[in-house]
Amino acid sequence: MNKRELKRLTRTGQAFTRLHILGSAEQVTGSMMLFEHVTRERVTRFLLDVGLTVENDKADFMNRLPSGITPADIDFIVISHAHIDHSGYLPRLTKLGFTGKVYMTDATADLLDIMLPDSGFLQEEAARKNCARAERQKDKLGDDTTVGAKPKPRRKSRSRAAICSEPLYTQADAKHSLTFIQRGMNLNTRYELAPEIAVKFTEAGHILGAAVVTLELGAGSKKRTFCFTGNIGRSEMPLLQTVAAVKSADYVMSESTYGNRVHEKRDRLALLADILNRAIERAKTPSPKHGYGVILIPAFAVGRGQTLAADIRHLQEEGRIPRIKVVVDSPMMIRSTEVHRKHKYLLNAETQALFADGVDPFRTAKHVETMDRADSQALDEPQSEPMIIIGSSGMAAGGRIVNHLKAKLPGRQNTVVFVGYQGTGTLGNQLIGKDARRNVNGTTIESNTQNVRVVRIYGEPVKVYANIEFMSDYSAHGDVEDILGWMRKFERKPKQVFLVHGDDEALTGLKESIEKRLRWNVTVPKARDVFTLE
């Protein structure tokens, strides 16, 4: 603590809390905040969220904690939800010496049992590919050994050590980190985590188990509350319950992902039915080379995959689309669906009613799940009937869905349906094109022999004759009206609002909306900013 804080603590004995912004400041990912609760007797340090930094993965290899503080100095960790940009740094911290407890809802813990080892696998794969690239670079920079040849000067390059390095963490590291998670924590229950520190999780309506986190810091008349939204969902999220009201907090930290946008209100199911019916009609005409048509739907394994399966089942049961085969080709999505079934009490009333009637909302009439890679590879062969394949990842940035795209994009009878935002630089972004990104309505992109498009997959050119469909209706993030609607339920004005998790336009837009419409005090912190919560 600084001299002023030490002097005040000595004079008054009043505890105080420092907040360090270590991630998601003026960017969308990398959620991480350090709290230091200081009393005469002790300093308690804990982290709120420990997310990976998707915008710059090199940042996660650097020391993300303040100077002089190590992972071993952290007493405990609180995690809002399972998305990797909020949880995926945990194995790195346990690898570097953190040994405290990790708190989250029980459903989030079950999802992390799946997601963190998968993240470790991806870290290992990335390191392997980087090292292979480094070896190739080393070979190219080798000396010319031709007899009589004048040695060529070496080109400048990054050091091999900077390219070929250990993974951030491994699958084994990720599995080890799971042993620190405290199981059995529920929504709407107050838990004391340390002297003068307590936490309560409330429904965030974002993904299964996602929580708004409210912290109690201090005691008696000097107790302060700090509320972090994590990510809150849309007002009418499919499958999930809506975000719960929080009555008050002294300090509020809100995400801002869609802080300058309003989601279009329309019938998601009608648009999906229209897209699928056109795709199924196209798929009915087989090709001698490619067989019957396939409808590929890239989807995130947690949340979006389950919503799509439930929507397709609903449309088939109502007779709005034909009952063709639906293949879920993602082991991670299949295991995540089992977690949704286990925690069905967290789903909305309509979905719980289906379970009560003996209906599995995630299983269609002709439902197939492929865990084995051989079964997945067989899907790339010519098919004897039209089918829908749902696979991860949602932006076609990796996973089995990329293999299917490589096999199916050249077939005119095939369709690819993207159902949400496609990040810059991803294969999904390349396939939907600029027109679709500008148009939030359902968009069809067709190729023809005169103007065939080409994308590169695994370094190889792939012609795109398949139809590409795009709809943006499956986002799990609330927009500016959803965030303001949640804030309006506060019974008193907070002292300060901090905005994180947004690009510049989103942060500015939400800040202006809160200040103008709620007249709250708003700060947009920068990375490494420190605030004293008094």
Residue 91 and residue 122: Cα distance in Å, rounded? Answer: 13
**Statement to judge: residues 255 and 272 lie in one domain:** no
pLDDT at 206: 96
* Predicted confidence (pLDDT) at residue 296 exceeds the cutoff of 60: yes
Cα–Cα distance for residue pair 70/470, rounded to 1 Å: 45
How far is it, in rounded angstroms, from Cα 461 to Cα 332?
28
Q: Do 43 and 96 fall into the same domain?
A: yes
**Please, are residues 138 and 131 in contact by the beta-carbon 8 Å criterion?**
no
Contact residues for 72 (Cβ-Cβ < 8 A; gap 6+): 97, 98, 99
Q: If DSSP codes are grouped into helix, strand and coil, which group holds residue 25? A: coil
Confidence of residue 11 (pLDDT cuts 50, 70, 90): low
Residue 149 lies in a domain: no
Q: Is residue 192 part of a domain?
A: yes
Measure the CA–CA gap between 520 and 236, rounded to whole angstroms: 26
Residue 323's closest CA among 378, 387, 370? 387
Q: What is the pLDDT of residues 137-158, one digit of tens each?
A: 777 766 444 445 555 555 444 4
Assigned token pair, 228:
């972090």
State whether the Cα torsion 359-363-366-371 is positive or negative: negative
Cα of 105 vs its chain's centroid, Å: 17
- Are 234 and 478 in contact by the 8 Å Cβ rule? The answer is yes
**Upstream peptide bond of 376 is cis (omega within 30 degrees of 0):** no
486 and 341 share one domain? no
CATH number of the CATH domain containing 430: 3.40.50.10890
Question: What is the C-alpha to C-alpha distance for residues 289 and 309, in angstroms, rounded to an integer?
Answer: 29
Q: Which of 19-23, 213-217, 286-290, 357-361 has the lowest mean pLDDT?
A: 286-290
The four Cα atoms 263, 265, 267, 271 give a dihedral, to 10 degrees, of -50
Report yes or no on 21 lying in a domain.
yes
Distance, CA of 405 to CA of 414 (rounded, Å): 10
Domain termination residue (choose one: 431, 447, 470): 470
Same-domain pairing of 462 and 485: no
CATH number for 192: 3.60.15.10
Cβ neighbours of residue 35 closer than 8 Å, sequence gap 6 or more = 17, 18, 19, 20, 44, 45, 46, 47, 48, 215, 217, 226
| Domain presence at residue 35 | yes
Please state, in angstroms and as integers, the Cα–Cα distance from residue 79 to each residue in 86, 134, 244, 266, 499, following that order. 7, 36, 18, 33, 18
71 half-sphere exposure, CB direction, 13 A CA radius: 19
In a domain, 150, yes or no: no
Please, is 344 exposed, middle or buried when counting C-beta atoms within 10 Å of its C-beta (0-12, 13-18, 19+)?
middle
Please check whether residues 195 and 335 belong to one and the same domain.
no
Which pLDDT value is given to residue 135?
81
Only one residue has tokens 């940035």, namely: 397
Q: What's the one-letter identity of residue 446?
A: E
106-140 helix and 331-342 helix, angle to the nearest 10 degrees: 170
Q: What pLDDT digit, counting tens, does each position of 468-491 carry?
A: 999 988 889 999 999 999 999 999
Q: Is pLDDT of 451 > 60?
A: no
Of 88, 5, 26, 76, the C-alpha closest to 47 is 76
Estimate the crossing angle of helix 480-487 against helix 504-517, to 10 degrees. Answer: 40
- Residues 371, 298 share a domain: yes
Q: Are residues 481 and 509 in the same domain?
A: yes
Give the chain's count of helices (H) and strands (E). 15, 22
Evaluate if residue 101 carries a pLDDT over 90: yes
Strands laid side by side in the 294-298 sheet: 367-369, 325-328, 387-391, 294-298, 415-418, 467-470, 443-445
Instruction: Say if residue 118 is in the same domain as residue 196.
Output: yes
Segment 196-239, tens digit of pLDDT: 999 999 999 999 999 999 999 999 988 999 999 999 999 888 99
Helix (H) or strand (E) holding 387: strand 387-391
Q: Which range is least confidently modeled, 131-145, 192-206, 284-298, 313-327?
A: 131-145
Q: Between 400-408 and 427-438, two packed helices, what is the crossing angle to 10 degrees?
A: 70
Residue whose entry in the numeric block shows the structure tokens 């912004």: 21
β-partners of residue 248 are none
Adjacent-strand bridge partners of 216: 198, 225
Domain boundary among 449, 470, 491: 470
3-state secondary structure of 247: coil
Residues 483 and 443 in one domain: no
The pLDDT confidence band at residue 331, using thresholds 50, 70 and 90, is: very high
Task: Specify if 144 maps to a domain.
Answer: no
The reply to whether 158 falls in a domain is no
Tell me: do 73 and 188 sit in the same domain: yes
pTM of whole model > 0.85?
yes
Question: In this structure, are residues 66 and 169 in contact, taking their beta carbons and an 8 Å threshold?
Answer: no
Q: Clarify whether residues 15 and 99 are in a common domain.
A: yes
User: Residue 442: its pLDDT value, please?
Assistant: 58
- Can you give the three-state secondary structure of 439-476, one letter per residue? CCCCEEECCCHHHCEEEEECCEEEEECCEEEECCCCCC
Domain count, the chain: 2
**40-82: pLDDT as tens digits:** 889 999 999 999 998 888 899 999 999 999 999 999 999 999 9
Over 90: is that where the pLDDT of 341 sits?
yes
- 32-38 and 16-23 strand pairing: antiparallel
Q: Decide if 132 is inside a domain.
A: no
Range(s) of the domain holding residue 335 = 268-470
Same domain assignment for residues 291 and 198: no
Last residue within a domain, chosen from 470, 495, 519? 470
Q: What is the pLDDT of residue 126?
A: 84
Mutual angle of helices 304-317 and 268-283, in 10-degree steps: 80
Total residue length of the chain: 534
Report the pLDDT averaged over residues 253-268: 93
**DSSP secondary structure letters along 194-221:** ETTEEEEEEE-SSSTT-EEEEEEES-GG
Half-sphere exposure of 400 (CA within 13 A, CB side): 27
Q: Which range among 25-29, 322-326, 457-461 has the greatest average pLDDT?
A: 322-326
If pLDDT is split at 50, 70 and 90, which confidence band does 440 have? very low
At 435, give phi and psi (nearest 5°).
-60, -45
